[in-house]
Every structure is written in C-alpha cells, then in structure tokens.
Amino acid sequence: MNRLPSDEDIAKQLDRLDERVADDLESEVLEFKPWQGPKDSLSVAIEISVCFANARGGVVVFGVKDKTKGRRKAITGCKRYDLDVWRRGIYDSTRANLSVEVHTLDVPEGTLLVVKVPQGPAPPYGTSAGLYKIRIGKNCMPYSPEAFQRRQVSLGAVDWSSYPADSFTEADIDPGEVARVRDFIGAKRPGSHLCKLKDRELLIALGAIMGGRLTRAGMLLFGRADRLARALPNHEVIYLSQMNRCGRGS
C-alpha cells in the first residue's frame, strides 16, 4: 500500500504557500480544492475519490484556493459541512461503493476538510452517474471500464483470452477443430488423460469453456470458420511451441 500524505505533510505544504500557489504543490496523491459550499464541494469530492481510487489513492484538501499565492489569501477554510453526510454521500455516490476517511484539519486561517482515499482493491470505480476517472500525474483523466480492461491486459494482470466470447455460444464450435486438437494432443502426449475426455469435458479442461460459456480462446481455437469470418474477419491465431531437446547435456 502506498503511503498517503499525513496531516503533518499537508501542514508542511501549506507553509510554502507564501512562495508557491497550491497548484504547484499538488502531486499524484495530493490535491487542493477551494471551498464552494457543502453541496458543490461534495460533488467534487465524489469525482476525485474515484479518480484516486483507480490509481494509487490520494488526499484532497478542501478550503485552499489552488491558484492564489500567499497563505492568508489562499486558505479560506470550510463552513457548514457535516462529516457524516460527506462519508455517506461519497459511499452512496460511487460504484463500487468507496469508504473514505473524512476529517478536519485546523490551521490558523480556518478549518480545512480532508478526504483521504485509499487505493481501490478492485477497480475500476466510477460515480453513480457513470463517470470514471483516474489520476495521471496531477490530473484526473477520463477512464472508462474498457480502458481499464485494456490497461490490465497490457500489464499482464488480466488474461484477455479467458473472458466470455460475447455473442458466441457452444453451438458455434466446430467439431472438426475439436477433433484436430484431440489428435494433436494424442500425437504429442499419447498417455495424456485429456485424450480420454468427451468433447465438452476436453473443452472445459483446456479453458475453452468456463462457467458454462465459451471463452475468447475457445472461440478463436474452436469456432466455426464462417462465424469467425463474419465476427472477426481479421482474426489470427499464432501457436508457439518450445520443444525440449532430450538426451543432450548442457
């Protein structure tokens, strides 16, 4: 878990406001926001919460103008808020629901509202209105569930081939392709227990069917040619095999 800024860290940054504007002090895990009233600022907090949860987590501090230099001018503080309303509002307005820490930080210029968002254990997260964002540097950028899935696949965190093949069913399987794979297994490993399985059992064992649904791997390996030609006219399967060289010393 990444370390998030503490109240002491925030206080040290506030001490720099006479030389820098708050926007210059922000980071991937720290954001300053001016106070716009309890309702409007809560809406901002909801969006930033999903933004941080989809990345490393982060802290947003309300009551600080981010474009104003000078501590006394920049820090305005917050008024007429209810901490429980904020905690419940963020939880109820995020999907999946986010539990965040909301507390106050008293400074000479007033009281700041601090929202600490942990890194989400199961992203992507969005608002109940369907807005998805992710923290990139100092900015909250659009982040759709599809973009999240592509990123996970590129990082190797998700096996794209194991996902269900939308619009394809077991009826789209070519028995000839199943027989070809069965022959291939028999030729490479004559004693394999896979050779003794029935067709559907074999497909399940190979990961072509998972949870009762045809997977993307199953679609590409065993799908009927005419169905694949219509759905994926540019599809291609490349099989790589590394054969062991037996009987030779290193």
**245 located within any domain:** no
Cβ atoms of 123 and 89 within 8 Å: the answer is no
In whole angstroms, how far apart are CA 226 and each of 73, 221, 222, 232?
Answer: 69, 13, 12, 10
pLDDT digits over 147-200, tens only? 666 665 555 545 666 777 877 888 889 999 999 888 888 888 888 888 888 889
**243 located within any domain:** no
Same domain, 59 and 182: no
Q: What is the count of structural domains for the chain?
A: 2
Same domain, 118 and 211: no
Q: Which domain holds residue 179?
A: 161-231
pLDDT > 70: percent of the chain: 84
pLDDT at position 152, please? 55
Same domain, 149 and 175: no
pLDDT at position 247, please? 36
Evaluate if pTM is beyond 0.85: no
Same domain, 196 and 141: no
User: Which residue, of 138, 154, 170, is where some domain finishes?
Assistant: 154
Same domain, 188 and 65: no
**70 located within any domain:** yes
pLDDT digits over 37-80, tens only? 999 999 999 999 999 999 999 999 999 999 999 999 999 999 99
**238 located within any domain:** no
